[in-house]
Amino acid sequence: GAGVSQSPSNKVTEKGKDVELRCDPISGHTALYWYRQRLGQGLEFLIYFQGNSAPDKSGLPSDRFSAERTGESVSTLTIQRTQQEDSAVYLCASSDVGNGYTFGSGTRLTVV
Amino acid sequence: GEDVEQSLFLSVREGDSSVINCTYTDSSSTYLYWYKQEPGAGLQLLTYIFSNMDMKQDQRLTVLLNKKDKHLSLRIADTQTGDSAIYFCAEKRDSNYQLIWGAGTKLIIKP
């Protein structure tokens, strides 16, 4: 498709379970970003992939969070042993040189 | 403190102009962006301005950039109820793909 696609759009999980969130960036966009947005808050940077370079993981809040990206395509964000404070909208964006980001619609994660 | 700062709320009457302000700190900024986030949705790019420009107009939107003061503003003329959203300011620095984000300004429209 023409935009950034994220799945699932909503996820409800029990505390302690693992979840995997998926992002399909725009074809040809070399950069991919994950952000977290808690209710009523701004964007919290999580991780950034740029081409084949090592990702910038400086925003990951704990070692329960990890992300992978296959080449310049799909990325998955995995949260292990989910906690209630992980409840948020997880936004993915992609970009190319000199352009702004294009965001997906996000995955709303609720940990109960 | 944050590198990009915005007021958290702005309240305007329907039909009036809205002016959303943003300040940033890095003089190497190359592009500055305004994104709109409607309730329950992702962020949508509204407009952007190159750092060598002072002004950009696009229909009801006017972006003003004061590079000396590192101040960016977004003016929405004839504000409508559909303009209710959170508006994020972001800057792109010369050396990096990454954008530096403000916390967002929630625009509230009064009837």
pLDDT digits (tens, 9 = 90+) for A39-53: 878 889 999 998 888
Which one has a higher pLDDT value, B18 or B28? B18
CA dist., res. B8 & res. B22, Å (int):
11
Do A24 and A112 touch, CB atoms closer than 8 A? no
Amino acid at B9: F
Cα separation, A2 vs A61, in Å, equals 31
pLDDT mean across residues, chain B:
91
Over chain A, what is the mean pLDDT?
92
**B 20-79 residues with CB below 8 A of A?**
31, 33, 35, 41-45, 48
R_g of chain A, CA atoms, integer Å: 13
Using 50, 70 and 90 to split pLDDT, how confident is the model at B30? confident
Question: Residue A59: is it exposed, middle or buried by C-beta count within 10 angstroms (0-12/13-18/19+)?
Answer: middle
Strands B9-13 and B105-110, by their bridges, are parallel
**Number of Cβ pairs < 8 A linking chain A and chain B:** 45
pLDDT (mean) for B15-21: 97
Element (DSSP H or E) covering residue B100: strand B99-101
Of the ranges A61-65, B27-31, B100-104, the best mean pLDDT one: A61-65
User: B1 pLDDT exceeds 50?
Assistant: no
The pair of structure tokens assigned to B17 is: 């102009």
Bridge pairing between strands A10-13 and A107-111: parallel
Chain A interface with B: residues with Cβ < 8 Å: 31, 33, 41-43, 45, 48, 50, 56, 91, 93, 95, 97-98, 100-106
- Report d(CA B107, CA B34) in Å as an integer: 13
Residues of A in contact with B45 (CB under 8 A): 100-102
Mean pLDDT of B23-33: 86
A73 CA to chain B: closest CA distance, Å? Answer: 17
Q: For residue A98, what pLDDT is reported?
A: 62
pLDDT of residue B96: 65
Report CA-CA distances (Å) from B106 to A6, A111, B20, B39.
25, 26, 9, 10
Q: What is the pLDDT of residue B36?
A: 96
Q: What is the pLDDT of residue A86?
A: 97
Partners of B55 in beta bridges: B64
Long-range contacts of A47-55 (CB under 8 A, 24+ apart): A47/A77, A48/B97, A48/B98, A49/A75, A50/B97
pLDDT along chain A (112 residues), means of 10: 89 98 93 91 90 90 95 93 97 83 94 96
pLDDT of residue A1: 54
CA of B48: how far to CAs of A28, A68, A80, B64, in Å? 21, 30, 37, 10
Q: What is the pLDDT of residue A72?
A: 80
The pLDDT tens digits for B36-68 are 999 888 899 999 999 889 999 999 999 999 999
